Structure 1
Amino acid sequence: MFAKLSIRTKITSLVIMLLLALSGLGVIGLMQMRSLNTSTVDIGTNWLPSIKELGNMRTSIALYRNALRNHLLTLGAKEKGDEEKRLDAILATLTKQQNVYEKLISSPEERRIFEQWAREWGTYLAEAAKVIALSRQSAGRYPEEAFNYLSQTVAPISQQVDELLQRDIDINDKGSDGSIDSAASTYNSAFYFVITILLITVVIGAGAGLLTVRDVSQGIASIVKPMQDFTRGDLTAEVPHRGEKTEIGTMADALQIFKEALVAKRDADAAAAKEADEKIARGQRIDHATRQFETSIREIVNTVSSASTELEASASTLSTNTDRAQELTTSVAA
């Protein structure tokens, strides 16, 4: 079946197959790149910013706690006022960070933990306000009551706030790790898949190329052999692939016409040689007949000449006899 195809069709099919393989690789590569890009974008726009903001919030909370303790340790009313301004500034920064992070929440579980954290944080701020009030009332002396309230009431709430914040961080760490693993898995699968497709394409392409070259070479060789036979004078060699709708078939048809022309020339030469031989034979026969005729004429001439000589001799004898008879007659008469 493959041998019946034209060289153009074979080469075109091979090129199309390779182009399809390359196109398939391109499509697969683009799909895998899209998946990698999705994972990368997810890491860059969701998990890392969330972890960053959670870290900032945790830092702001730590600063708030330190400022709250400094408020207790500061004895002067003015210094306590300065610490309260610092607490307000830290709280304002934390509120901004909280708003930014809230927009980055991507899962129901993460939102549930955040809302629980927001409630605990609100409770913490309410209790911290009481600590601040007790500390403000103890200006100029050690705020023992405020310290006791901080350690007994506010500290457990602060610990709960930390735990909830850590849970949010763990969720984002897990999501980030999942995206990284997904990207790595996508890369590995794409790499091995592309390598496999490339190897298969190379094997198929090389096999198809060798098959095409061998088929074309065999087709040309099958045409060259009878051509060589014709040059040696053997016009009985058969021309293969005649009538096929391929380049080899076209060459075979042309070679068949050339063979028929050689056969016609050979027959014409043979007929001409036969006619020449017949003319030579006819000439030889005419020459032989001419020579026989000349011999016959020569013999006839010789016979007539001999007869004429004999007749002339006889006439001479007769004349002599006549003269003697006349003389005898004359003698008798006298």
Structure 2
Amino acid sequence: MRLHVSLKASLGAAFGFLALISAGQGVVSLAKLSSIGTSVDAISSNWLPSVVAANNVKAAEADIRIKHLRLLTPTKSATAFSEDSKLLATSASEFEATRKSYETLISGEDERSIYNAFVASWNKYDAATVESMQLAEAGLMSEAAALIGSPDNANLYDNARDALNRVVAYNEVGARRDAADAMAQIDAATATTYCAIVLALVAACAAAAFSLLRVSRPIQAMTGVMSGLAAGEAEIAVPYGARRDEIGAMASAVQVFKENLIRTRKLEAETADARLAAEAQRKAGMRQMADDFEAAVGGIVGMVSSSATELQATARTLTATAAETAGQSTTVAAAAEEAGTNVTTV
């Protein structure tokens, strides 16, 4: 069974498909942009600041150790010792501020676990630093230097520094991971956009071909047919009559116009034939009337002529009778005259 779809439905479906492609592309792009924004925000607001802050902690930690070792130089004077103590206290304050700045950036239990390992090692090292300062203030510089430079304390410092290195590495890995995710989202968004563009182009080309082949050309053909019918070309063929859409309805309407034109032509021809037949009948009637009139007039003329002949004969008879009467009158007159004479004679 063939499915008949109207032009309105077909064009609506084509434009709806284009709108769906555009909407789908927009939704996917927005989702990808949101994911990219999340990754970039994590990189810019967490990972990279954490790397910078952890490196600052490392630098402050190294500054404390350097100034602490400088403070414990055996030949240092009391004035120099006091000044170096102040510098060490300043570095310690800066270190604490740097630590607090980094601690606000810690995200996730893994990073906090690494940082806690640093805190544990550093607290032990810091306790040894305080003890060595007490020995140095008591004038036991050699003992203080030996304490802070012992393998155990050196290991504590190295462990703390290693923990900070792991903190930096952890944040660098997170930054690279989110950067990779962002790039993957960008690639996915780009691929989606390309696919949407291809689908939109295909749909647009299909809609254009459909409009040209199924709408524009049939309408142009219908226009030609209607122009031909307007010019009186009743034999012109009406195409697309089998279609079951708006073009088919138009063709059916044009077919009605054609049939009306043919019917009108037939009526005009029949009217012309009837007019000619009536004219011929009128002329035949006129001829018949003329013939009848001529026959009637001929009969009347014959009768008049016959009557005239009879009247002429009658006239001749009357003339003869009158002559005879006149002769008789003359004879009578003569006889009367003769009788008168006879009377006179008597």
* TM-score bucket (shorter structure): 0.7 to 0.9
Alignment-derived partner of residue 42 in structure 2: 42
Whole-angstrom CA distance in 2 between matches of 1:38 and 1:313: 147
Alignment-derived partner of residue 180 in structure 2: 181
Larger radius of gyration: 2
Whole-angstrom CA distance in 1 between matches of 2:131 and 2:214: 96
Whole-angstrom CA distance in 1 between matches of 2:220 and 2:128: 100
Q: Which segments of 5 or more consecutive residues in structure 2 lack a partner in the other structure? A: 328-346
Alpha-carbon deviations, 1:108-160, whole Å to 9, x = none? 33222222211111121122233323333347xxx444434433333333222
More displaced, 81-90 or 307-316?
A: 307-316
Name the aligned partner's letter for residue 219 of structure 2.
I
Q: CA deviation at 1:270?
A: 2.8
Alpha-carbon deviations, 1:7-51, whole Å to 9, x = none? x43443333222221111111111011110110111122211211
- Change in CA separation of 1:4 and 1:145 when aligned onto 2, cut-off 3 Å: closer
8 Å contact kept, 2:58–2:164 = yes
More displaced, 234-243 or 159-168?
A: 234-243
Alignment-derived partner of residue 88 in structure 1: 89
Whole-angstrom CA distance in 1 between matches of 2:107 and 2:93: 24
Question: Is the partner of 1:104 in helix, strand or coil?
Answer: coil
Q: CA deviation at 1:161?
A: 2.1
Alignment-derived partner of residue 123 in structure 1: 124
8 Å contact kept, 1:3–1:215 = no
Alignment-derived partner of residue 160 in structure 2: 161
Q: CA deviation at 1:308?
A: 5.4
Name the aligned partner's letter for residue 53 of structure 1.
A
Q: CA deviation at 1:197?
A: 1.1
Name the aligned partner's letter for residue 95 of structure 1.
E
Question: Is the partner of 1:80 in helix, strand or coil?
Answer: helix
Whole-angstrom CA distance in 1 between matches of 2:319 and 2:122: 194
Name the aligned partner's letter for residue 120 of structure 1.
S
Name the aligned partner's letter for residue 115 of structure 1.
N
8 Å contact kept, 1:14–1:209 = no
Question: Is the partner of 1:235 in helix, strand or coil?
Answer: coil
Question: Is the partner of 2:72 in helix, strand or coil?
Answer: helix
Alignment-derived partner of residue 29 in structure 2: 29
Name the aligned partner's letter for residue 20 of structure 1.
L
Alignment-derived partner of residue 20 in structure 2: 20
Alignment-derived partner of residue 71 in structure 1: 71
More displaced, 165-174 or 287-296?
A: 287-296
8 Å contact kept, 1:243–1:250 = no
RMSD: 3.6
Name the aligned partner's letter for residue 45 of structure 2.
T
More displaced, 311-320 or 10-19?
A: 311-320
Whole-angstrom CA distance in 1 between matches of 2:126 and 2:81: 17
Alignment-derived partner of residue 264 in structure 2: 265
Q: Does residue 136 of the first structure (1) align with residue 142 of the second (2)? A: no
- Change in CA separation of 1:210 and 1:244 when aligned onto 2, cut-off 3 Å: closer
Whole-angstrom CA distance in 1 between matches of 2:210 and 2:251: 21
The two structures have a TM-score, normalised by structure 1, of 0.81
8 Å contact kept, 2:125–2:156 = yes
- Change in CA separation of 1:316 and 1:180 when aligned onto 2, cut-off 3 Å: closer
Whole-angstrom CA distance in 1 between matches of 2:228 and 2:63: 103
More displaced, 169-178 or 148-157?
A: 148-157
8 Å contact kept, 2:25–2:192 = no
Whole-angstrom CA distance in 1 between matches of 2:163 and 2:318: 186
Whole-angstrom CA distance in 1 between matches of 2:316 and 2:128: 200
More displaced, 19-28 or 230-239?
A: 230-239
Q: Which segments of 5 or more consecutive residues in structure 1 lack a partner in the other structure? A: 328-334
Q: CA deviation at 1:317?
A: 7.9
Regions of 4+ moved over 4 Å: 236-247, 301-324
Picking from 150, 153, 156, the partner of 1:152 is: 150
Whole-angstrom CA distance in 1 between matches of 2:132 and 2:22: 71
Q: CA deviation at 1:87?
A: 2.3
Alignment-derived partner of residue 110 in structure 2: 109
Q: How many residues align?
A: 326
More displaced, 230-239 or 167-176?
A: 230-239
Alignment map for 1:196-235 (pairs within 5 Å) = 196-235=195-234
- Change in CA separation of 1:2 and 1:87 when aligned onto 2, cut-off 3 Å: farther
Name the aligned partner's letter for residue 112 of structure 2.
R
Q: CA deviation at 1:289?
A: 1.2
Q: CA deviation at 1:298?
A: 5.3
Alignment-derived partner of residue 190 in structure 1: 189
Whole-angstrom CA distance in 2 between matches of 1:88 and 1:247: 92
Q: CA deviation at 1:277?
A: 1.5
Alignment-derived partner of residue 332 in structure 1: none
More displaced, 122-131 or 73-82?
A: 73-82
More displaced, 118-127 or 249-258?
A: 249-258
Alignment-derived partner of residue 56 in structure 1: 56
Q: Does residue 279 of the first structure (1) align with residue 278 of the second (2)? A: yes
Whole-angstrom CA distance in 1 between matches of 2:42 and 2:87: 36
Identity %: 22
Whole-angstrom CA distance in 1 between matches of 2:255 and 2:298: 64
Question: Is the partner of 1:24 in helix, strand or coil?
Answer: helix
Alpha-carbon deviations, 1:155-200, whole Å to 9, x = none? 3332222222112111111111111111112112211221221121
Alignment-derived partner of residue 344 in structure 2: none
